[in-house]
Amino acid sequence: MLNFPMPYQHELIYSTVARAGARLALDSPKQLLDEVFENRKVIATVDLPCHLNAIIHQFLDHQFTVHDIAYQHTLFPIYAPFVPEKRRQQCLKWMADISQGSIHLALGINASRIPSIHKLRYCPQCLAEQLEKYGEYYWFRLWQIQGACCPQHGQLIDSELDLRSLHRHDFLVPSHQSCPKTEQTLTNPDDIFITSKLLELLTLPPSESPSYEQWTMFYYELARQNDCIRGQNQILHERILERITIRWSKKFLAQYCLADLTSETSWLHHIFRKHRKSFSYLEHIVAIETLINREWSFAEILQQVHSFHKINQDNHVDVPNNHIIDLTIEQRENWLNLIKQNGVKPARLLNAALYAWLYRNDKQWLLDTNQVFHQKYIPQGTKVDWHSRDLGLVKQLIKLNNDLLWDLDSPRRSANWWMKQTSHASTIEKSLNTLPLTKLFLKRYSESISCYQIRRISRTLIKIQLEHKNNHRWYVLRSAGLSEERLTEEASSFLNSLVP
């Protein structure tokens, strides 16, 4: 495509493609897709678009890279620092080519508690300045982030255009009709603060993302510095909650669905525990601002998070913190004394908290140590009598089979179905070779698809006969929930013999 426009600073690449269509006066969305992407199936995605390689080829000498567009002209930077590095790299690959919605799932957007934006948003005064300076409108990417406002002019306004339009292939530019000039309400200090942090995220250069372990260590250290830890490593959530309520208003937290702070499953509890999932930019901003007690920037925070050493492949924690190292040594000694006196399994029952701590923080050492103290034999009297168990299970199955002998309404009696009717389904499944009688029963009485279809046809024919209805073939099949395509050869022969 000739004369593809250069994106303005902080312009969404979605907006750049839309301006390209407007400049060439392309009325058909499919024609624009042909010109830019050479692919008519591309979806017009505002926040995290894909097919960036096709857009790169529109610029002379390929002066942009996928990283340039993703970090300068999409909303990817507000999610990238908070997901693991492997996932960040995968998302960039999807954005370069195609994702089919995977990127929104991988970044946690679909499951996020932060409410979604449903309309493309704009600032009327900024649009007027764009028109005066550039002679055209474009979508500024800060406008489409939940929690943002215009730092100069006030709250953002919802346009007439859906963020995820039913017309999935339309790239739309702002206009007087879709973005009418409207009076804006004033912003409050919290909105200004959130917006300033979002601008910091948007201007961060591409870099490796911290791991979940590093984020866990960062928040542990943050809580320790603010005297929010009891004993060795117990987080005082009540003290953190008290500081949250002082710094942030209930109205602000409720506006972004962050007001659930007291329940055991609240986001605030989880963010100060071991991280097993990503948290949103707003959750990080609220938590950090509450406890940092000074001016801070995301560049500084990420540098501090990266300073914590990762947990290596053997799960040994390598943290530049003498307190944690001393604690690990102490917990190892306690566990060794416990298993020497009682054995592994009794030790777990006697001190479950100690076992859980070592499992989470020093897993490989714990497993290796337990292996040394495992019992080398099974004590007398604890072996399973498989013959007795086999007899009990097969008697249970035979009784059930006798009860169902004339039942035509039950589901298909496959081997899996028979096993689930007993109280030891998982035992049968895992130890079938040690249960010969049960295995023989399943082989003999498991119902094939043909037999199941014949039983359904028989049930339907009996019902038709009792109700004195016509037994046309098509009616029998429909009543039995079958079709000619799914009917097996045996079932078809059976039906042919009964229905002319």
How many whole angstroms separate alpha carbon 327 and alpha carbon 323?
6
pLDDT, tens digit, 9 for 90 and up, residues 211-221: 999 999 999 99
Do 168 and 38 share a structural domain?
A: yes
Residue 196 lies in a domain: no
Given a cut of 90, is residue 384 above it in pLDDT?
A: no
Smallest CA-to-CA distance from 151 within 85, 111, 104, 200 is with 200
Rounded to an integer, the average pLDDT of 250-259 is 92
Beta-carbon count within 10 A of 299 CB = 14
DSSP letter for each residue of 167-218: STT------TTTS---PPPPPPHHHHHHHHHHHHHHTPPP-PPPPHHHHHHH
The confidence score (pLDDT) of residue 323 equals 57
Given a cut of 60, is residue 316 above it in pLDDT?
A: no
H/E run at residue 53 = helix 52-56
Do 439 and 343 share a structural domain?
A: no
CA 37 vs. chain centroid, Å, equals 29
Do 370 and 303 share a structural domain?
A: no
In 3-state terms, what secondary structure has residue 448? coil
The confidence score (pLDDT) of residue 466 equals 86
Under a CB-based contact definition with an 8 Å cutoff, are residues 23 and 5 in contact? yes
Number of domains comprising the chain? 5
Find the domain containing 356 and state its range. 312-383
Do 146 and 39 share a structural domain?
A: yes
The confidence score (pLDDT) of residue 166 equals 84
Residue 334 lies in a domain: yes
Q: Is 306 exposed, middle or buried (0-12, 13-18, 19+ CB in 10 A)?
A: middle
Mean pLDDT of the chain: 88
Residue 4 lies in a domain: no
The confidence score (pLDDT) of residue 422 equals 85
pLDDT, tens digit, 9 for 90 and up, residues 148-194: 999 999 999 999 999 888 888 999 999 999 999 989 999 899 999 99
Do 117 and 61 share a structural domain?
A: yes
How many whole angstroms separate alpha carbon 14 and alpha carbon 406?
65
Rg (CA), the chain: 32
Given a cut of 60, is residue 382 above it in pLDDT?
A: no
Whole-structure pTM over 0.95, yes or no? no
Do 301 and 359 share a structural domain?
A: no
Q: Which residues are CB-contacts of 410 (< 8 A; sequence separation ≥ 6)?
A: 404
The confidence score (pLDDT) of residue 265 equals 87
How many whole angstroms separate alpha carbon 405 and alpha carbon 172?
66
How many whole angstroms separate alpha carbon 47 and alpha carbon 35?
21
The confidence score (pLDDT) of residue 173 equals 92
Q: Which of these three, 274, 307, 340, is where a domain ends?
A: 307
Residue 207 lies in a domain: no
Given a cut of 70, is residue 314 above it in pLDDT?
A: no
Do 396 and 358 share a structural domain?
A: no
The confidence score (pLDDT) of residue 241 equals 92
How many whole angstroms separate alpha carbon 59 and alpha carbon 163?
27
Do 472 and 333 share a structural domain?
A: no
Cross-strand partners of 154: 150
Do 145 and 34 share a structural domain?
A: yes
Residue 263 lies in a domain: yes
Given a cut of 80, is residue 309 above it in pLDDT?
A: no
Q: Which of these three, 307, 323, 338, is where a domain ends?
A: 307
Smallest CA-to-CA distance from 478 within 468, 493, 463 is with 463
How crowded is the C-beta side of 56, counted as CA atoms within 13 Å? 17
Rounded to an integer, the average pLDDT of 340-346 is 87
β pairing state of 234-235 and 229-230: antiparallel
pLDDT, tens digit, 9 for 90 and up, residues 332-341: 889 999 988 8
Do 133 and 57 share a structural domain?
A: yes
Under a CB-based contact definition with an 8 Å cutoff, are residues 299 and 204 in contact? yes
Q: What is the 3-state secondary structure (H, E, C) of 212-247?
A: HHHHHHHHHHHHHHCCCEECCCEECHHHHHHHHHHH
Cross-strand partners of 140: 11
The better pLDDT of the pair 473, 317 is held by 473
Under a CB-based contact definition with an 8 Å cutoff, are residues 95 and 76 in contact? yes
Residue 474 pLDDT level (bands cut at 50, 70, 90): confident
DSSP 114: S
How many whole angstroms separate alpha carbon 101 and alpha carbon 370?
44
Residue 318 pLDDT level (bands cut at 50, 70, 90): very low
Given a cut of 70, is residue 381 above it in pLDDT?
A: no
- Residue type for position 95: M
Q: Give percent of the chain above pLDDT 90.
A: 48
Residue 143 lies in a domain: yes
Q: Which residues are CB-contacts of 325 (< 8 A; sequence separation ≥ 6)?
A: 319
Q: Which of these three, 383, 401, 435, is where a domain ends?
A: 383
Do 438 and 467 share a structural domain?
A: no
pLDDT, tens digit, 9 for 90 and up, residues 118-153: 999 999 999 999 999 999 999 999 999 999 999 999
H/E run at residue 162 = strand 157-162
The confidence score (pLDDT) of residue 203 equals 94
Under a CB-based contact definition with an 8 Å cutoff, are residues 362 and 328 in contact? yes
Cα–Cα distance list, 74 to 71, 93, 137, 269 (Å): 6, 14, 17, 31
Residue 205 lies in a domain: no
How many whole angstroms separate alpha carbon 58 and alpha carbon 74?
17
- The phi-psi region of residue 138 (left if phi > 0; otherwise alpha if psi is between -120 and 50; otherwise beta) is beta
The confidence score (pLDDT) of residue 320 equals 46
How many whole angstroms separate alpha carbon 413 and alpha carbon 442?
10
Given a cut of 60, is residue 311 above it in pLDDT?
A: no
Q: Is 156 exposed, middle or buried (0-12, 13-18, 19+ CB in 10 A)?
A: buried
In 3-state terms, what secondary structure has residue 11? strand
Do 123 and 38 share a structural domain?
A: yes
Given a cut of 50, is residue 312 above it in pLDDT?
A: no
Rounded to an integer, the average pLDDT of 65-77 is 94
487-493: long-range pairs with CB below 8 Å, 24+: 487/453, 488/449, 488/450, 488/453, 489/450, 490/450, 490/453, 490/454, 491/450, 491/453, 491/454, 491/457
Residue 20 lies in a domain: yes
Q: Phi and psi of 129, rounded to 5°?
A: -65, -35
